[in-house]
Amino acid sequence: MRGLGILRLGGRRIRTPAVCGSVMGRTLEELERGREKAERRGADLVELRLDRLEEGPDWERLLEGKLPVILTHRPEREGGFFRGKEEERVKGLLKGMERGVPCLDLEFSTPPRLRRLILSEARKRGTSVILSHHDFSGTPPLSHLLKRVREMEREGDLVKVVTLARSTEEVLRVLELYQAKPSVPLISFAMGEVGALSRILSALLGSPLVYASVGGPTAPGQMDVETTKKLLERLP
């Protein structure tokens, strides 16, 4: 499909729509294999998920691959696996910035004090921040989602809103957010089987990133990198 343009993530420039391979694992070796597999399968960048990692030391070496990295440390309340204290979770993101990661995914539900800390440090270091909201319980009314987008666009470099859809109507509700034309790039799609194609349609509507699995899916309805790339190539 025709590109949307160039997205700047930190010091990296990425042609969009870009396929982001989501990588998650319990060990450093699993994460490293996932990152390498994402490169081989043609992903444009990698989302490195720390929240399932059971080994702490030396994970920063995973940031040294060829592809740009979005560093994510997803808490359990938003569909992730991290169950510890918020201060500990945020510490991993701060460490990633110290090592020069170009982009972070930071949940809007992060306590305001810690959210401000991350955003302030990101501005100092030139790190891009995707401010995200994930709802695994369902898809709220459009007015609620629009309010959330307006709140988030005031702080993030990109805004990501993802909900679990159980009907076509709910999928369309999530995609309708693109009509709001936020002041920053928007990534919005629906999870679940019924929402799978919304990941591809979001690129038509303006999303700069399309998330795809490298091993197993990291969210319901996520397609693998190869399938995602083929579908994007068939779009006008």
Catalytic residue positions, numbered: 134, 160
Q: What angle do CA 162, 147, 195 make, to 5 degrees?
A: 25
For residue 221, give both structure tokens. Answer: 């309805």
In three-state secondary structure terms, 8 is strand
> 72 φ, ψ to 5°?
-130, 140
d(CA 110, CA 229): 32
CA–CA separation, 186 vs 1, rounded Å? 18
Region of 58 (left: φ > 0; alpha: ψ -120 to 50; beta: rest) is: left
